[in-house]
Amino acid sequence: MRRRSRASSKPTKARSRKAKTPKGSATEVARLRRELDDAREQQTATAEVLKIISTSPSELGPVLKVVVRSAARFCDADDVTIFELDGQHLRITAAHWGAVPQDVGARFLCVRGHVSGRAVLDRKPVHVTDLHAEAEEFPEGSAFARRLGFRTTAAVPLQREGVAIGAIVLRRAEVNPFTNKQIALLETFAAQAVIAIENTRLLNELRDSLQQQTATADVLKVISSSPGDLRPVFDAMLENAVRICEAAFGSMLLREENRFRRVALHNAPRDYAKYSETQPLLRPTKTLAGILETMQVAQVADMAVAEPQSPISRLGGARTLLNVPMIKGNELTGVFTVFRQEVRPFTDKQIELVKNFAAQAVIAIENARLLSELRESLQQQTATSEVLGVISSSPGELDPVFRAMLENATRICEAKFGFLWLAERDGSVLSGFIMSHPR
């Protein structure tokens, strides 16, 4: 029994060894070699993107171009598009064009009927084998696919701290589903795009903050060096606001009852600058009337449409306009305005910057008023002291006292000359003094 058992066990062991011997080992080696090559290529692509991110941290365009180009190559896609969420819209930030030509900057509503929109709203990947056949589930996306001629589509959301900020989308012109590996790789590219976008955002915010701080410091320096002179203060404010807000020119108006006086103008077109010299006092236009009524920030998208006959449109070529009220207490003291010569709305950050300058202008005006009042008070006290000195030194002589009074009154009131008359009881003139005082 034992011999039979041992004898019978030998063939069994041989059969076991034969079963464990891999069949098609060359095929397996080829497969592993392909996977290794793919992994190396993917690492190379990742390294390339990270290298560009490190060398161009504030330039988003070149980085995203590499991301979409690499995604198209390694995911075997005809088209790759990166969208950024802009309010309720998705805006094309970068694209690798093939069968689906699209313009960078184009926008459409972020809705579930688009594959990209659903990926953003659900914050998870969406893969559609044939978008032509999904008109009920993706009405907007299916219509778009039919119009431009693509079929299989996959989208992965771009997420920052759990919040979707956009999507990266793969497309194929034929029905050919993407593999799980390709979807996973697309998620890697999405993460790289988020890093690039976030780096650019942080650097731009830092740059904007430094620009604003520098501009504020410049204005405060001018205010401190010219405490009673508002013109250089207004000029410095306008110059900084125009530069930082990427505007063409700027203007500052101070309110005089129901009209406005232009007190500063920076970088205005020649024809409008000449017009402004002859027309410094303005009656409220439609836009200024709205500021008077609401005392709220007002932005006009296109002055060529809103007020085509206004001088600022005809002579200045103004298109997008931003009016920021200058408010002291509950009263409108003036308007701070910047203009663009193209239709391009000012951003919320730019509006906040101009509001900051408007607030500084109000402070500068108030400081100048207080300094002027203090100066006048000191002049009056000095004049009174001088007159009292003359009276005390000439107690019985009126002529030097009257002359001192008249000289001080003429000087403080910035008059050319002055008279002092003394009248007799019957109303006839007893005597008169004339004291000239050139300005």
Q: Within this chain, do residues 156 and 49 fall inside the same structural domain, yes or no?
A: yes
pLDDT digits (tens, 9 = 90+) for 369-409: 766 666 677 767 777 777 677 677 777 677 777 777 778 78
Q: Within this chain, do residues 236 and 285 fall inside the same structural domain, yes or no?
A: yes
Per-residue confidence (pLDDT) for residue 412, from 0 to 100: 75
Domain end residue (candidates: 371, 389, 407) = 371
Kindly tell me if the per-residue pLDDT of 61 is higher than 60: yes
Q: Within this chain, do residues 295 and 403 fall inside the same structural domain, yes or no?
A: no
Question: CB–CB of 437/410 below 8 Å?
Answer: yes
Q: Is residue 407 assigned to a domain?
A: yes
Domain end residue (candidates: 201, 216, 239) = 201
Q: Is residue 23 assigned to a domain?
A: no
Question: CB–CB of 245/338 below 8 Å?
Answer: yes
**For residue 146, what pLDDT band results from cuts at 50, 70 and 90?**
very high
What tokens does 151 get?
A: 């079929």
Phi, psi of 101 (to 5 degrees): -70, 130
Distance CA 53, CA 215 (A): 29
How open is the CA angle 126-130-133, to the nearest 5 degrees? 110
Instruction: Tell me the β-bridge partners of 412.
Output: none
- Strand 163-171 relative to strand 89-96, pairing: unpaired
**For residue 235, what pLDDT band results from cuts at 50, 70 and 90?**
confident
Question: CB–CB of 372/228 below 8 Å?
Answer: yes
Kindly tell me if the per-residue pLDDT of 21 is higher than 70: no
One-letter identity of residue 243: R
Q: pLDDT > 70: what percent of the chain? A: 75
Q: In terms of pTM, does the model score above 0.75?
A: no
- DSSP states of 178-247 as a string? PPHHHHHHHHHHHHHHHHHHHHHHHHHHHHHHHHHHHHHHHHHHHHHHSTT-HHHHHHHHHHHHHHHTT-
Instruction: Tell me the β-bridge partners of 92.
Output: 83
Per-residue confidence (pLDDT) for residue 291, from 0 to 100: 87
The total number of structural domains that make up the chain = 3
What tokens does 213 get?
A: 């701080």
Q: Tell me which DSSP letter residue 344 carries.
A: -
What tokens does 201 get?
A: 């955002």
Q: Is residue 15 assigned to a domain?
A: no
Q: Tell me which DSSP letter residue 132 carries.
A: G
Domain end residue (candidates: 323, 344, 371) = 371
Q: Within this chain, do residues 173 and 67 fall inside the same structural domain, yes or no?
A: yes
Per-residue confidence (pLDDT) for residue 230, from 0 to 100: 77
One-letter identity of residue 260: F
**For residue 438, what pLDDT band results from cuts at 50, 70 and 90?**
very low
How open is the CA angle 348-287-238, to the nearest 5 degrees? 55
Which residue blocks in 56-114 are alpha helix, DSSP H?
60-74
6 compared with 340, residue with greater pLDDT = 340
Cβ neighbours of 371 (radius 10 Å):
13
Q: Is residue 9 assigned to a domain?
A: no
For 317, the enclosing helix (H) or strand (E) is none
Question: CB–CB of 174/150 below 8 Å?
Answer: no
Per-residue confidence (pLDDT) for residue 215, from 0 to 100: 67
Q: Which residues contact 296 (CB under 8 A, 6 or more apart)?
A: 325
Q: Within this chain, do residues 156 and 279 fall inside the same structural domain, yes or no?
A: no
What does pLDDT average to over the chain?
Answer: 80
Kindly tell me if the per-residue pLDDT of 317 is higher than 90: yes
pLDDT digits (tens, 9 = 90+) for 345-364: 999 889 988 998 888 888 88
Per-residue confidence (pLDDT) for residue 19, from 0 to 100: 47
Distance CA 289, CA 54 (A): 51
Domain range spanning residue 415? 374-436
Question: CB–CB of 187/125 below 8 Å?
Answer: yes
Instruction: Tell me the β-bridge partners of 170.
Output: 80, 154
Per-residue confidence (pLDDT) for residue 272, from 0 to 100: 93
Q: Within this chain, do residues 47 and 182 fall inside the same structural domain, yes or no?
A: yes
- The residue among 164, 168, 199, 194 whose CA lies nearest residue 68 is 168
Kindly tell me if the per-residue pLDDT of 325 is higher than 50: yes
Question: CB–CB of 79/101 below 8 Å?
Answer: no
Q: Is residue 57 assigned to a domain?
A: yes
Distance CA 10, CA 411 (A): 130
Cα-based distances in Å from 404 to 95, 231, 391, 393: 83, 34, 9, 12
Q: Is 335 left (phi over 0), alpha (psi -120 to 50) or beta?
A: beta
